[in-house]
Structure 1
Amino acid sequence: MIEFAWPWLALLWPLPLLLWWLLPARRQRFSSLRVPSLPAAPVAHARSGTGYLSLALAILIWTLAIIALCRPQWLGEPVPVRSEAREMMLAVDLSGSMEIADMTLNGQAVDRLTMVKSVVTDFIARRTGDRLGLILFADTAYVQAPMTYDRRTVQQLLQEAPLRLIGERTAIGDAIALSVKRFRDREDSNKILILLTDGQNTAGNVSPEQALQLAEYYDVKIYSIGVGADEVVVEGFFGKRRVNPSRDLDEDMLRSLAERTGGEYFRARSTEELEQIYTLLDAYEPVTGDEQLRRPQSALFYWPAGIAWLLAVCWLIARLRPWRTGHG
């Protein structure tokens, strides 16, 4: 349906008529030009017809301008919108160690980042109604996607993120501090950071302890996830041997970040465990809540405004053409 945002502006429509009645000198000059006792010549008839046409065109232009001022807008079908504001920032590690192929996805060995992309993409798809953001970090951290309801864009940006995009090392403190910066001016939302890494803080300008203090001050809850298998079998010169590919994972630091902000630390040693973790996060931070029906709005004022402008240009051209012909 169509409705007007400012319908009271329609009261301006009779303004030209009121001005005409309030200017008696103008009205007398107009009436003095009438000569009812003389027969109308053909030229006079033509001019009279042109005058009525100009008057009708002027009324139409003015009417369209008033309609545009009233700001018509199209209201779409009602859509449910959750009343509770929930914002969630995803911070994903792109350091060189995420290249270690100690994960299995659909029966095939894959690197850690490939597995993370698959699981987190499914998680994003389930967060209907939430505002999500994406931070990528390695030697430093940067916002890849600001807070948005456009989950498809966040998914696409995550899928397109390559390894070593911003270096080899891991700036966990910078990632947390950047997330807090995005949250600090939003007091009416659930501020949630999901931090996913496979190492320890080895780069950046902000230490994890400093970032933790910021998160505590601005009430940002951190769910930290340590990714990487505990044991893999590798081929060596003396045959097969077992190694721990996650020996650099700083679990104590990740656990402290989570517990001191009211979150929780998780350990993802496989694709199945990471899937279970995100299922738990859905339960800890549910998307269900009170919903309100809202209608999407599309502005339509530019249609009457554009038509009025085109008619005004045509009217001016028509008025100027006889003058140019007469002086040619």
Structure 2
Amino acid sequence: MFELHWPAAFLLLPLPWLLRWLLPSAPVRSAALQVDFLQRLGQLPTSVSSMPLTRRRWFFVLVWLLLILASSRPQWLGDPLPISISGRDMMLAIDLSGSMEYEDMRLDGEQVPRMTVVKKLVSDFIAQREGDRIGLILFGSSAYVQAPLTHDLQSLDEWVDEAFVGLAGRETAIGDAIGLAIKRLVAEPAESRVLILITDGANTAGQITPLRAARFAASEGIRIFTIGVGASADQSLTSGIQDPSINLDEGTLIDVALASDGEYFRARNSADIQQIYQRIEALEPALRDSSPRRQARPLYPWPLGLAMLISLVIASVAVYRRRHAV
């Protein structure tokens, strides 16, 4: 579909004629020098005005029309693009410490390690955040950024799937993970500063305590949602372990969430995982842009290029006739 992005440019169309009408005419000066061979000079061929004046005027009119058309930014609109989702920039921090390999949870009726359930949670969450920018932090004994904030959610999902227990060490540096997320989020708009931290243990490594990092996050307007992973004692599926989540420091995770105006969730089974996902989606909804968009292909280079070509031809003809006038 053809469209003029700035149709108001056509209001400039009468400008040359308006200026010609308003501005005074150039004064006509009589010749100050009389020569005896003036009659012979009058018999020489003219240099530039050999082209009829009316024809030259139409060329100038055409150039002006092409310039106005180019200024109106003509464009060809393609098929409608999918409605974009915009708004949230968030970081995901995933615990890869040694305890994440405990097989104390069920997924689709099968006994699986905690890490498998976490990957399922994160994968489903990412799939529903199309249009948002999400970054990924992996932490164990230390924390590092696996992916900066990106719209490429497919690649992000692949990086989550490729993560494995022990990749960042066997301990748990929760405070360092929060601190690293703050560095990545502090430059983002205030309404987009969100961190989702998933862990199954207590802070056993790192340079900063989780609560101190959470207070600093709160001062920067960053909200932290914490998720504690692991089955409870009565749900334990792991032989020889009475309470597989005994090392889960829920008190600290709750304090971290409250200090940053976030919320704490407990993931004991796959049903909890689904409820957590729905709750986070309600707390941090994707902001949808309701205005439809189309892919626009600009067409202004064509009239602009044609105007330049015609102007070049007129100038070249004038120079050629001037040089061969005598």
TM-score by shorter chain over 0.5: yes
Partner of 1:294: 291
- Tell me the CA shift for residue 157 of structure 1: 0.6
- Tell me the CA shift for residue 171 of structure 1: 3.5
Q: Runs of at least 4 residues of structure 1 off by over 6 A? A: 75-82
SS of the aligned residue for 1:267 comes to strand
- Tell me the CA shift for residue 257 of structure 1: 0.8
Q: Which amino acid aligns with 1:167?
A: A
Structure 2 residue runs of 5 or longer lacking an equivalent are: 30-47
1:140 corresponds to which of 136, 143, 155: 143
In 1, are the aligned partners of 2:114 and 2:230 still within 8 Å (CA)? yes
Structure 1 residue runs of 5 or longer lacking an equivalent are: 29-43, 235-240
Partner of 1:12: 12
2:72 corresponds to which of 50, 62, 70: 70
Partner of 1:260: 259
In 1, are the aligned partners of 2:66 and 2:307 still within 8 Å (CA)? no
Q: What is the distance in 1 between the residues matched to 2:271 and 2:177?
A: 26
Q: What is the distance in 2 between the residues matched to 1:158 and 1:79?
A: 21
- Tell me the CA shift for residue 86 of structure 1: 6.0
Q: Which amino acid aligns with 1:261?
A: S
Q: Which amino acid aligns with 1:228?
A: G
Partner of 2:219: 217
Pair 1:6–1:111, CA change in 2 (3 A): same
Q: What is the distance in 1 between the residues matched to 2:67 and 2:279?
A: 56
Q: Deviations over 1:70-105 (max 9, x none)?
A: 3456598799889xx963624231524376152443
Pair 1:47–1:93, CA change in 2 (3 A): same
TM-score, normalized by length of structure 2? 0.66
Pair 1:95–1:23, CA change in 2 (3 A): farther
Partner of 2:35: none
**Aligned residues: CA RMSD:** 4.6
SS of the aligned residue for 1:89 comes to strand
| Paired residue total | 294
Pair 1:317–1:185, CA change in 2 (3 A): same
1:1-328 matched pairs, under 5 angstroms: 6-18=6-18, 22=23, 24-25=25-26, 47-48=51-52, 52=55, 56=58, 58-72=60-74, 87=88, 89-93=90-94, 95-97=96-98, 100=101, 102=103, 103-126=105-128, 131-138=132-139, 139-142=142-145, 144-146=147-149, 150=151, 153-161=152-160, 162-163=162-163, 167-168=168-169, 169-181=171-183, 182=185, 186-187=189-190, 189=191, 191-230=193-232, 231-233=236-238, 241-242=240-241, 246-283=245-282, 285=283, 287=285, 293-296=290-293, 302-313=298-309, 316=312, 320=316, 323=320
Larger gyration radius, structure 1 or structure 2 = 2
TM-score, normalized by length of structure 1? 0.66
